[in-house]
Structure 1
Amino acid sequence: MKAGENMTYRIALAGNPNTGKSTLFNALTGLRQHTGNWPGKTVTSAEGTFTHNGITYHIVDLPGTYSLFSNSADEEVARDFLLFGHPDATLVVADATALERNLNLVLQILEITPRVIVVVNLIDEARRQGIDIDAEALARQLGVPVVLTSARNGEGITELLDVLDKMVRGEIATAPIQIRYDADVEERIAALEPQVRQVLGDAFPSRWIALRLLDGDESLLTALKENLTAPQEEVRDFGPVRAG
């Protein structure tokens, strides 16, 4: 991706509930935002715009979720936007005072897209609790940029925007950590993933989709049929492999 004039980049904003995600959204967009509902859902949507260094961003505040396993309408909305909305970058907000718990969602999103910036928010509260977070070490472990912020007082926002600019300009190469599963699961992923890639192409995370189908995620199968141009029969063919 190369940033240029008159271009607007689509940004996804994801994270667990109560991480200060909405506060960050407001800090970035100010009054340049609007709310509504996701199509066909009762889930509230929030979108806004902001500019930095001459680049315009359209940011979509996804519902706060603990996972992308489609156990709720919120999780389905977040998952579908990350899959089919093709954001140019995804900001994943994590609570600095409960980082280990929040990393579950971070790792799931890294399986879907490599264009991720982890925003460790509430860093001021973490300091008050004596919690020290090494952003550089965490970035090395995750393979993506990590920025420490306190959205409510503006700390780290400029650094975050600078990192975002570099990402959309193609100046940051990420190498997300890849989760490895039991040998049996990896063998089944290896069998199904080429079929997923053949039907869906390289624009989608074939490994993650194969994993979710193997886990029996019928909601994802339905979403694939609704959102893709691939023939229904080809998508349906994933089912027997999953069950095998």
Structure 2
Amino acid sequence: MEPKADSDQISLLRESFNINFKRGNPVIALAGNPNTGKSTVFNGLTGLKQDTGNWPGKTVTQAQGYYTYQNQDYILVDLPGTYSLLANSTDEQVARDFICFAQPDATIVVVDATKLERNLNLVLQIMELTNNVVVCLNLMDEARRKNIEIDVEGLSQDLQIPIIPTVAPKKIGLEKLKDKIADIVTGRIKVTPKQIKYSSQIEEAIEKILPDLEAILPDYINSRWVALQLIEGDNSILEAMQTYYPEQIVKEITANLQSEVKAGGAF
């Protein structure tokens, strides 16, 4: 089971990202590489019910929209198009921080069916960060035109996440996508993405520092994912924590986290 922050923590975290939501309305993140048709999926799901602005402290445009399904209102947040969550750019940092700290109730990852291998890199990274992931396999008409065959069921079983084929301009598959999101949000289905196994050296480093990370970090943050970021030398995650966590938690993290990682042999 994926740990979650309590409702008050979630509300405060989401408000810090300028998300206009009412308590009880699920928040859904929409992620994907550039040129996958993500904007078309966003428009197809939300229609004209959209607001735009900027992400807090950034010049990156923020778009959020709204749709109703089975008498439930949903907030859809369109994340910047990115190829990864490695925080090498402002767009990547915004996408990573929102999924990590705003705790969306589900994350849709839009992929181009004609460039599946390339797009799966982002899918795998998001699977490491959050459990509630569904892939929107878009541009299926283009794939058929190019004689590309995709074993959707087999890929879903391999990744252990739902995959919904779509043709967003024609709104084909979008109702099934809404239905799957509703299943995840209501708990009718529980998603447990396949955990990626790394080399024995990396896995040993993770195991050494994981207990200390779990003792320091809030329980709704994926400690294994944080360990991987630190092993990769990505200290920007520590900077992000200073923005979204109370000061006393930040002090404990910054006082102990890096020493624990070094003790684990990660650096």
Q: Where on the TM-score scale, by shorter chain, does this alignment land: which range?
A: over 0.9
| 1:53 alignment counterpart | 70
User: What amino acid is the match of 2:259?
Assistant: P
- Show structure 1 runs of 4+ deviating over 4 A: none
CA distance in structure 2 between the aligned counterparts of 1:100 and 1:157, rounded to whole angstroms:
22
- Aligned mates of 1:234, 1:93 — CA distance in 2: 37
Alpha-carbon distance, 1:174 to partner: 1.4
Letter matched to residue 180 of structure 2: V
**Which residue identity does 2:138 align to in structure 1?**
N
The alpha carbon displacement at 1:161 in A equals 1.0
Residue number among 250, 253, 257 corresponding to 1:232 in the alignment = 250
Superposed CA offset, 1:161-181 (max 9, x none): 111111111011212111111
Q: How does 1:184-223 map to 2 (within 5 A)?
A: 184-223=201-240
- Give per-residue Cα distances to partners, 1:111-151, cap 9 Å, x unaligned: 01110110100111111000111221111011110000010
Is the contact between residue 241 and residue 250 of structure 2 (CA under 8 Å) also seen in structure 1?
Answer: no
Q: Does 1:113 align with 2:130?
A: yes
Q: 1:152 aligns with which of 166, 169, 173?
A: 169
> TM-score w.r.t. structure 2 length?
0.87
Q: How does 1:156-167 map to 2 (within 5 A)?
A: 156-167=173-184
Match of 1:242 in 2: 261
Matched AA of 2:53: G
Query: Which runs of no fewer than 5 residues in structure 1 stay unpaired?
Result: none
Q: Which amino acid aligns with 2:74?
A: Y
Structure 1 match to 2:19? none
Given that 2:30 and 2:77 are in contact with CA atoms closer than 8 Å, whether structure 1 keeps it comes out as yes
Check if 1:34 corresponds to 2:34: no
User: Does the aligned pair in 1 maintain the 2:212–2:260 contact within 8 Å?
Assistant: no
Alpha-carbon distance in 2 for matches of 1:138, 1:171? 21
Aligned counterparts of 2:137 and 2:172: Cα–Cα separation in 1: 11
Which of 192, 201, 207 does residue 175 from structure 1 map onto? 192
How many residues get paired? 240
SS across alignment from 1:71: coil
> Could you say which residue in structure 2 is the equivalent of 1:67?
84
Instruction: Supply the RMSD in Å over aligned alpha carbons.
Output: 1.4
Provide the C-alpha distance between the structure 1 equivalents of 2:39 and 2:95, rounded to a whole number of angstroms: 15
Q: Residue 104 in 1 paired to residue 117 in 2?
A: no
Q: Which moved more, 1:122-131 or 1:230-239?
A: 230-239
Pick from 29, 32, 39: which aligns with 1:12? 29
Of stretches 66-75 and 132-141 in structure 1, the one that deviates more from structure 2 is 132-141
- SS of match in other structure, 2:26: strand
> Hey, what's the Cα distance between the residues in 2 that align with 1:154 and 1:233?
48
How far, CA to CA, are the matches of 2:41 and 2:183 in structure 1? 19
Distance 2:212 2:54 in 1: 35
* Counterpart for residue 21 of structure 1: 38
What are the superposed Cα offsets for residues 158-201 of structure 1, whole Å, 9 maximum, x if unpaired?
A: 11111111111101121211111111111111111222211113
What is the rounded CA distance, in whole Å, between the counterparts of 1:172 and 1:213 in structure 2? 32
Q: Does structure 1 retain, via aligned residues, the 8 Å contact 2:161–2:193?
A: yes
Contact 2:140 2:166 in 1 (8 A): yes
For 2:250 and 2:168, locate their aligned partners in 1 and report how far apart those are by CA, in whole Å.
Answer: 44
Distance, in Å, in 1 between the alignment partners of 2:188 and 2:63 is 29
Structure 2 runs not aligned, ≥5 long: 5-22
